[in-house]
Structure 1
Amino acid sequence: MLVGSIGNMIEWFDWFVYSTFAIYFAGQFFPSDDRTAQLLNTAAIFAVGFLARPLGGWLLGRLSDRNGRKAGLTVSVGMMSASALMIALAPNYETAGNLGACLLVVARILQGLSVGGEYAASAAYLTEVSKKGWRGLGASFQYISVTLGQLAGLLVLIVLQFCLSDEQLTSWGWRVPFAMGAVGAVAVFYLRRGMHETTAYSVAETVDTEDSRGTLAEVWRNRRAAVVVFTLTLGGTVAYYTYTTYLTSYFVNSVGLGKSQASTISFIGLLVFLVLLPIGGYVSDRIGRRPVLIFFGIGTTIGTYPILQGMQNNPTWLTCLVLTVLGLVFVVGYSSVNAVVKAELFPTGVRTVGVAIPYSIATAVFGGTAPYIALAFRDAGRESWFFVYVSICAAISLITYVFMRETKDVNLIAATAAPGPTDRAQHSASKGTPVTTVQG
């Protein structure tokens, strides 16, 4: 579990430092006559990485289901290392014109392919290595490691802001975290080569044929679960990226706080978020996944508009910190259990690719575009419309949470073959075992 978590942390450090340092390097790769245009172009390239995630989810998910979790996790971190190094060395606009921006696009595509496979493979791995009755707590380390990666990125930003001037950060300092991420990913690559496969996957190897594992046909046979993963993710990914990624730019560009203040608020908020994640996972092991998800859905649907608007109405450091923490408390309801509940919906032989494809599509369409949509609304003078957009997305997911089947008692070892939804329900009913399908 430790190797999986550390690797996940490094991968997401590399993924998030792009958005964290965007306010510094946006002017390095695009013409300097329009600051909003620079941010929009940078956000668009940020979204490109999300568009590559479904393809990465399919390729690396298939690899993970056919050749083992170790294979998928090792390849994904290798790709992330290469992409981080590419960004660290990319030339700026004055030096090489559009070449730097093109390299950014290529690097973000590589990052998207990597993260598309990493998320589902790590979710499957952490869920499968956790004991039954403790899977919520164990799998919460998926987002704990994600948050640690983001905290590490913010910590590097705060240290660099303290040690360097704005001019130095804009000129070359922003390259430091990408170089650090590349080196860290190489170290994790070698650590993951010594990982052991999970018991659930080893059992699946003896039951399922290799040709049946990780195929799109098997995903289609479990399509109801795939639809649930998509709609379950929709509101969660928008809220997550709004409160953990977009707020840093929002504080600077809309609220009027300084860059260092914005970074500090985000850092403290994520620390609180980090502490609450295992609590959310533990609670889900006791009362179920659905109540925790419903808490997120209701809180985010009702609370997003007053939280974000309140930051503008009372733009003080303390107000923004309190409201940020409140928003993240709601997001804990999604982030603490989303990995485990998705993994529990699928049989072992299609678990990684089954989670990866619908999750990656949802994050590409909704999560990755959230910063771009927010900036576009702001540029049009309708920034509050973005607050409504986040609330609507959360409300759509809330409907799924209300009607989906509880999954906390699913037997992962027994879930090896991948029967169709109806056959699986009938088989489970006849044997008295938990059903892994969903309602509605």
Structure 2
Amino acid sequence: MSTDASANASASVPHYTAAEKRHRIFSIVAASSGNLVEWFDFYVYAFSALYFAPAFFPKSDPTAQLLNTAGVFAAGFLMRPIGGWLFGRIADRKGRKISMVTSVAMMCGGSLLIACLPTYASIGAWAPFLLLVARLFQGLSVGGEYGTTATYMSEVALRGQRGFFSSFQYVTLIGGQLLAVLVVVVLQQLLSNDELKAWGWRIPFVIGALTAVVALYLRRSLTETVRADSLVNKEAGTIAGLFKHHKAAFFTVLGYTAGGSLIFYTFTVYMQKYLVNSAGMSIKTASGIMTFALFIYMCLQPLFGALSDRIGRRNNMLLFGALGALATVPIMSTLHQVTNPFIAFFLIILALAIVSFYTSISGIVKAEMFPPEVRALGVGLAYAVANAIFGGSAEYVALGLKSIGYESAFFWYVTVMMVIAFLVALRLPRQPSYLHDDH
């Protein structure tokens, strides 16, 4: 057993009654449900864009229409750091519960607005403008969702099993993406292409708004995890308080989140395009591979989270950085030559298993770095900044390098970031930190 794991074992583990266990597990489910809804609502936009783009950007060139919708999608991405700061501040000063309720309510409003928006033919330039406003609200919401949910789930999880229970944040994050794909696929079977372009594209956004109402109801019943003395701390939720005492922790989290976000988006969002544009597979084959791969990846999260409870968070992160650095170039280079979909599926699962060392404990490994008065802010802001810069740009960097004939340079870029993640992970404390003293 590792030093971290030994420390975990030696830490005082309270005896939970059956009622306390049920309550904490319900809290995990309620928090996770909102997380699933948030990511469903955010990503269903990308999967539906093909159908609603002409309604808001009436240009004759379909590529121009998709570029405009992609630009609005990117704008939502850029709002994440602001959301990480705003909702992190709310969570540290007013409580985790109010931050999570506000976040999911804002996402609900954004989805409902998109579902009801008049088209360009009805209100002219106001249509794309209001679409942009809705996406900015959603970007702000999802930017705040990660940090607050990660903080809450890590605080409410059963001590000794925090890695396992916290892993459900990524189970629902990936599940939201899969559900978005599934809804669009079902609609494609039920409606004609003309019906989807005329009005069918609105259905996923209506579903997103309705499920957000359910998540809102569940989150309103949550019990607050932060103590009153933390909320009244004069430095609670402030940038000054975060950087005055916890600058090193912030940049440590920023460092490994940069690599984590980059490799996550490389092997999830970008991979389908890579299989089509570089490996030469059909869109249908690539979509099938990625749908099943994401499902397996989702199921891996609790297993790797439970592993971190045994071997320690630091060892999980070191394995992530080391294996990611060693395997990225061989896997990406081999995928470039692969024609057999089963071999491609196996290689992608191998890559996603390596990424799971990070994503399964992404929330808790960050939460353990900060005290409660700046925890949501530290987790949310570091994640949002690194995610917007490195995760959000992954596809553009990959396609840009491919367009100038240096596609393999992207593989090495990811590898370098994995080396950085490994070196930063060496800075993680061997001893369990702040969370073990909270409650």
Task: Please report the TM-score for the alignment, with normalisation by the length of structure 1.
Answer: 0.85
Instruction: Summarize the Cα distance change of 1:207–1:111 in structure 2 as closer, same or farther, 3 Å threshold.
Output: closer
- Map Cα deviations across residues 201-232 of structure 1 (whole Å, 9 max, x no partner): 12xx1356343311112111211111011101
Q: Which amino acid aligns with 2:82?
A: L
Contact 1:50 1:360 in 2 (8 A): no
- Map Cα deviations across residues 108-128 of structure 1 (whole Å, 9 max, x no partner): 221221112111111111111
> Which residue of 141, 147, 167 corresponds with 2:168?
141
Instruction: Summarize the Cα distance change of 1:262–1:138 in structure 2 as closer, same or farther, 3 Å threshold.
Output: same
Contact 2:371 2:434 in 1 (8 A): no
Contact 2:369 2:434 in 1 (8 A): no
> Which residue of 247, 260, 264 corresponds with 2:271?
247
Matched, 1:399 2:423: yes
| 3-state SS in 2 of match to 1:403 | coil
Contact 1:30 1:93 in 2 (8 A): yes
Count of aligned positions: 411
> Which residue of 377, 385, 397 corresponds with 1:373?
397
Task: Identify which range, 306-315 or 163-172, moves more after superposition.
Answer: 163-172
Q: CA deviation at 1:270?
A: 1.3
Among the aligned pairs, what percent are the same residue?
A: 43
Q: CA deviation at 1:390?
A: 2.4
Q: Which amino acid aligns with 2:336?
A: Q
The aligned counterpart of 2:183 is 156
- Map Cα deviations across residues 169-219 of structure 1 (whole Å, 9 max, x no partner): 455443322221111112211221121112xx12xx135634331111211
Matched, 1:222 2:246: yes
The aligned counterpart of 2:103 is 76
The aligned counterpart of 2:81 is 54
Contact 1:243 1:324 in 2 (8 A): yes
Please show how residues 11-30 of structure 1 align to structure 2 within 5 Å. 11-26=38-53, 29-30=56-57
| 3-state SS in 1 of match to 2:241 | helix
Task: Please report the TM-score for the alignment, with normalisation by the length of structure 2.
Answer: 0.85
| 3-state SS in 2 of match to 1:211 | coil
Q: CA deviation at 1:246?
A: 2.2
Q: CA deviation at 1:25?
A: 4.6
Instruction: Summarize the Cα distance change of 1:223–1:2 in structure 2 as closer, same or farther, 3 Å threshold.
Output: same
The aligned counterpart of 2:378 is 354
Distance in 2 of aligned mates of 1:172 and 1:374: 34
> Which residue of 9, 25, 32 corresponds with 1:5?
32
Q: CA deviation at 1:95?
A: 6.1
Instruction: Summarize the Cα distance change of 1:196–1:208 in structure 2 as closer, same or farther, 3 Å threshold.
Output: closer
Please show how residues 151-190 of structure 1 align to structure 2 within 5 Å. 151-166=178-193, 168-170=195-197, 172-190=199-217
Contact 1:31 1:38 in 2 (8 A): yes
Q: CA deviation at 1:271?
A: 1.4
Q: Which amino acid aligns with 1:352?
A: A
Instruction: Summarize the Cα distance change of 1:98–1:311 in structure 2 as closer, same or farther, 3 Å threshold.
Output: farther
Q: Root-mean-square deviation (CA), in Å? A: 2.5
Instruction: Summarize the Cα distance change of 1:404–1:207 in structure 2 as closer, same or farther, 3 Å threshold.
Output: closer
Q: Which amino acid aligns with 2:102?
A: V
Instruction: Summarize the Cα distance change of 1:53–1:305 in structure 2 as closer, same or farther, 3 Å threshold.
Output: same
> Which residue of 257, 280, 287 corresponds with 1:263?
287
| 3-state SS in 1 of match to 2:153 | helix
Matched, 1:336 2:360: yes
Matched, 1:129 2:169: no
- Map Cα deviations across residues 322-358 of structure 1 (whole Å, 9 max, x no partner): 2221221111011001100100000011110111111
Task: Give unmatched runs, 5+ long, in structure 1.
Answer: 417-440
Matched, 1:67 2:89: no
